[in-house]
């Protein structure tokens, strides 16, 4: 396990509540390194766990997930690691999965990204890998999903959480775009990777994960989250030099119909068409991160 650093981004979640740390409670001979980037308003005390080296960085300014993963990569290099595995706080990740990742890495080395299959709690939907058309993601149906170890990403993408990245490949891609704070962080990274390699390695594990928007009605949260979505889409288009209109426009139409409110139009105009900075309104992040992201 010495060759890998696990990096997790947190917000208002106690470190001891992480599923990974709960999983190792009854396992002997544990040894691994964990980097935690905490976007919470207040710093936490770092728990002492036998066999686990925890490196902790706190940022009360909530710099976003892209910065968190970039900081994790810097720490991995400092520790002379070969790999970084990125997670968010709500991914149900087990310690035993690491061995499966490393087994695949022993075969394919630094030329590939490594990703699990991400599904919902009932294992009806596949969130990742997902179909991707005009930067609009579409889930796959679990019963129809065909697992392939060397998985072609043409017209597809994968999410950040659970992604294992060889550090030489991380540098070749150029890391995550820190101007994309939340939505589209993963799409940017994968689109840059596709210019190097159109295939990833799927690790034969199925991880349960919650996806924002795949739930009921919460008008205020979705209104503010749409600002991040539009801001991310705007920056993605600029950074990739590609026209990206259908994805935020489609989301706009869906939200107007869902809530029967035209307030989403001003968000679309200001944060997508005009490219307003999300950080003019720092309280927005706090409202959004109260929920799963």
172 plus 273 within the same structural domain: no
61 plus 178 within the same structural domain: yes
Kindly state whether residue 184 falls inside one of the protein's structural domains. yes
pLDDT tens for 16-28 read 899 899 888 778 7
Torsion angles phi and psi, residue 12, rounded to 5: 50, 40
131 plus 155 within the same structural domain: yes
The residue segments making up the domain with residue 68 are: 4-208
Tokens (6 digits) for 109:
């080395």
Could you say which of 150, 175, 208 is where a domain stops? 208
Distance CA(114)–CA(118), nearest Å, equals: 13
Tell me which residue has tokens 């950074």.
239
User: With 80 as the cut, is the pLDDT of residue 204 above it?
Assistant: yes
Could you say which of 208, 232, 257 is where a domain stops? 208
Which residues have a Cβ under 8 Å from the Cβ of 112 and sit 6 or more positions away? 166, 169, 197, 199, 200, 201
The H or E element spanning position 264 is helix 263-267
Kindly state whether residue 214 falls inside one of the protein's structural domains. no
Please give the pLDDT value at position 277. 79
Kindly list the distances between the CA atom of residue 33 and the CA atoms of 49, 51, 125, in Å, as whole numbers in the listed order. 11, 9, 32
Number of domains in the chain: 2
Tokens (6 digits) for 69:
């993963």
User: Average pLDDT over the chain, rounded to whole?
Assistant: 90
Please give the pLDDT value at position 284. 43
Kindly state whether residue 213 falls inside one of the protein's structural domains. no
Torsion angles phi and psi, residue 190, rounded to 5: -70, -35
Tell me which residue of 249, 128, 146, 100 sits closest to 190, measured CA to CA.
128
Question: Helices in 57-212 by DSSP H: which ranges?
Answer: 65-78, 96-108, 167-173, 185-194
pLDDT tens for 95-148 read 999 999 999 999 999 999 999 999 998 999 999 999 999 898 999 999 999 999
For residue 61, the domain's CATH number is 3.90.550.10
Cα three-residue angle 59-83-45, rounded to 5 degrees: 30
């Amino acid at each position: 396990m010495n060759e890998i650093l696990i990096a997790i981004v947190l917000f208002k979640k106690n470190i001891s509540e992480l599923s990974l740390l709960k999983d190792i409670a009854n396992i002997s001979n544990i040894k691994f390194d964990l980097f935690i980037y905490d976007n919470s308003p207040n710093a936490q005390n770092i728990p002492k766990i036998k066999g686990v080296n925890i490196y902790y960085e706190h940022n009360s300014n909530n710099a976003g997930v892209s910065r968190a993963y970039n900081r994790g990569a810097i720490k991995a290099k400092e520790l002379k690691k070969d790999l970084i595995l990125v997670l968010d706080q709500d991914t149900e990740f087990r310690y035993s999965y690491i061995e499966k990742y490393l087994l695949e890495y022993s075969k394919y080395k630094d030329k590939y990204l490594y990703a699990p299959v991400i599904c919902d709690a009932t294992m009806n939907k596949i969130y990742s890998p997902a179909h991707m058309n005009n930067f609009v993601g579409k889930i796959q149906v679990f019963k129809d999903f065909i697992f392939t170890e060397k998985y072609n990403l043409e017209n597809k993408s994968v999410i950040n959480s659970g992604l294992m990245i060889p550090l030489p490949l991380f540098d070749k891609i150029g890391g995550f775009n820190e101007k994309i704070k939340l939505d589209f962080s993963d799409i940017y990274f994968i689109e840059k990777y596709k210019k190097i390699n159109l295939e990833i390695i799927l690790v034969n594990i199925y991880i349960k994960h919650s996806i924002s928007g795949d739930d009921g009605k919460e008008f205020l949260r979705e209104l503010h989250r749409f600002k991040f979505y539009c801001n991310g889409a705007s920056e993605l288009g600029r950074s990739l030099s590609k026209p990206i209109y259908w994805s935020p426009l489609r989301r706009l139409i869906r939200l107007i119909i869902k809530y029967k409110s035209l307030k989403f139009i001003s968000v679309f105009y200001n944060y997508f068409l005009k490219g307003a900075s999300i950080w003019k309104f720092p309280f927005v992040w706090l409202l959004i991160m109260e929920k799963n992201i």
